Amino acid sequence: MKKLFLFLLTFSIVVACGKESSTSGSTSGEESGGASSFFANVLDLKFSGDASATDASALKNTVVHNAGYNLSAYYNSSYKIYVAHFGGDLGSTRGSGFYRIAYSDAMLAKIAQGFTMETMFSLDQLPSGSVTCAPFASYSDAGFGFYVSKLASGAHICFHAKIGENEVVLDSGITPELATYYHVVVSWDYSSSKITMYVDGESVASASTSGDLVTSSSSGSQWICVGGNCSSAINYNSASWKGDVVLARIYSESASASQASTLYTKIRKVQNPVQINITSLSYLTPCNVAKGYKYYIYGEGFETGDVIMLQANSDNGYHTCTTQIKNVSSPSYNSAAIIELPDDIADGSYSIYLVRGQYSKFLGTTTFSLSGTPDTEQITKVCAHRCLHTSYAENSLKAFKATQTAGIWAAEFDVWVTTDGVVYVNHDAELKGVTIENSTSSVVGKLTLSDGQYVATLESFFKQAVKYPDVIMYFEIKKHSTAAKNQLCAKQIATLAKKYGVEDQIEVMSYSDVALSQLKTSLPGVKTNWLGTDDPSTLIDSGVLRYSGISYNMNTLTSHPDWISWCLENGMSVNTWTTDTVADITTFIGLRATSVTTNQVTLAKNVTSRPYLEAN
């Protein structure tokens, strides 16, 4: 197997790339179409094995690597360069797992009146519905970028730019095949007022233009994203990519048809007749492991005879793993590759490859730590976002009852207090035009939810909670307009908790320190959780933890996984929201989050209960 694996790494590490020879596609100086002035002088991204990236262009733009578990890189031996691989959720907004290049005056000056953009990518999943995904883009209210979007005639490779007064959309008419690489060039010739798209060296779309390039008016969108599209917040992307990005380049000159063809020729590939496509991929990372243990890799598309190989990213050493393909019945996957970790496994990061016959495919990376206490039991629990509302209105009493009977660890909901001290369960400050905190219970109590139920009081929840003492109420005191109202809400919660004896069934979170401080005073021993984006190590007063835990947006925590470790080491719980996909839920199982808040309760129960690591 050793010789076989070396052969695979040398000749076909990525499916759909079984070509006779290729180069890295360098376009510097004389190498590009015979025109010495034509090279990627505005942006030329180079990926590294640790998934960082640098700009090789003359501008040497700073490339910010928003690291995350959904972003990795691997050496593609067909193209002879490192390639970025993006996992996670197609089309989502994320706080990690992409690259960010800020605009500069020099960059904008070079592309204001003509440019060429070049990319090469493959997709692991096609967009559906209204989902759009982007490999390399900078477009909000204006800008430019490549994307794949679900159109009336199918999901097509497209390019969007704002030039002068016009929204220019180039539709290639090509629906990308999964696990297949596409080389795409867009050339905007200012002098001829024409913009043209080339796919794999062939012209596929063009449009007339007039005026200069227009970029976003939002200061937060003044950047280029690789692995998605820019968003108004620089720490988040949008339209997240799922698949590979091989190239991301910008030239200050427009490419001719022959030059576009030359760019493709330099990195031309022959598609492999056998494609490996694994979807719904998920596995535990990071993971505390032991030698000989069984490690589960879930996904759709595994076949009997598939073999998993692990390559150590520290020294490129490799391990051929005994692999069992198991068919399973689940809403989120239908098969799993179960591997036996070899005796020489060590601490570190590993690239995961699937080998099928003479072909192989990079699946992603994982991090193993040898431990005397392997992660065979999961600690992450499920919290139903706004209660289990698949059949009932959010935050309603019936939705709360459904959460209890479904056996969910906790029901999440939100509370407001009226001017006369009655606490109601509702997410928004207003319900049918009535501002709850500025109204009396006689007014609020008559309001109904979307399914006709009356808005519930917290007292009705507490009264119901007594019947299911094992179900936690994990709720938020919404931040009211004044400190006095926040304090009143906390006091009323404490009074009701004592009345019904549910003190041990509640965990309370808030953006209001006033509310949580008052609650701790009125109900000593209650579990309180901070909502925010603060480094938890700063949430200490005179050496004492201010709260029992944190409840943070998942993008905040994927950007700061060390915060989770710090909390757990210091006795704080960690909840994250809102995790609605297999990839996100699995990420936080790996990070050992205490709980995940989700709208996809059945999915989350399944994902948190399945095995990821077992003793052999």
How crowded is residue 501: how many other Cβ atoms within 10 Å of its Cβ?
12
Q: State residue 271's pLDDT score.
A: 58
pTM summary value: 0.83
Q: What number is the average pLDDT over the span 310-330? A: 84
CB distance 86 to 62 below 8 Å: no
Q: State residue 272's pLDDT score.
A: 53
- CA–CA dist 538, 550 (Å, integer): 12
Inter-CA distances, 355 with 309, 358, 407, Å: 7, 7, 40
Least confident segment among 27-41, 179-193, 374-388: 27-41
What is the percent of the chain with per-residue pLDDT over 70, rounded to a whole number?
A: 92
Name the band, by pLDDT with cuts 50, 70 and 90, for residue 29: very low
Whether pLDDT at 17 is above 90: no
469 preceded by cis ω (within 30°)? no
Residue-wise pLDDT for 259-285, tens only, equals 999 999 988 865 554 578 888 889 999
Q: State residue 604's pLDDT score.
A: 95
Most trustworthy range by pLDDT among 21-25, 63-67, 412-416: 412-416
Name the band, by pLDDT with cuts 50, 70 and 90, for residue 89: confident
Q: Which CATH code fits 279-370? A: 2.60.40.10
Q: Which regions of 200-253 does DSSP assign to beta strands (E)?
A: 202-208, 223-226, 229-230, 237-238, 243-251
Residue-wise pLDDT for 45-84, tens only, equals 999 999 999 999 999 999 999 888 889 999 887 888 999 9
Q: Which two tokens stand for residue 599?
A: 């709208």
Q: State residue 316's pLDDT score.
A: 67
Q: Where are the domains of the chain?
A: 36-266, 279-370, 381-610
Amino acid at 157: I
CB distance 459 to 532 below 8 Å: no
Q: State residue 329's pLDDT score.
A: 63
Q: What number is the average pLDDT over the span 428-441? A: 98
Whether pLDDT at 12 is above 90: no
Q: What is the mean pLDDT of the chain?
A: 90
Q: State residue 95's pLDDT score.
A: 86
Q: State residue 26's pLDDT score.
A: 45
Name the band, by pLDDT with cuts 50, 70 and 90, for residue 399: very high
Under 8 Å CB-to-CB from 198, ≥6 apart: which residues?
A: 184, 185, 186, 187, 204, 257, 260, 261, 264
Residue corresponding to tokens 């094995």? 49
CB distance 72 to 211 below 8 Å: no
Q: State residue 268's pLDDT score.
A: 80
Q: Which CATH code fits 36-266? A: 2.60.120.200
Q: What number is the average pLDDT over the span 128-149? A: 94
The domain made up of 381-610 has a fold known as TIM Barrel (3.20.20)
Instruction: Compare 112 and 273 and report the one with higher pLDDT.
Output: 112
Q: What number is the average pLDDT over the span 455-460? A: 98
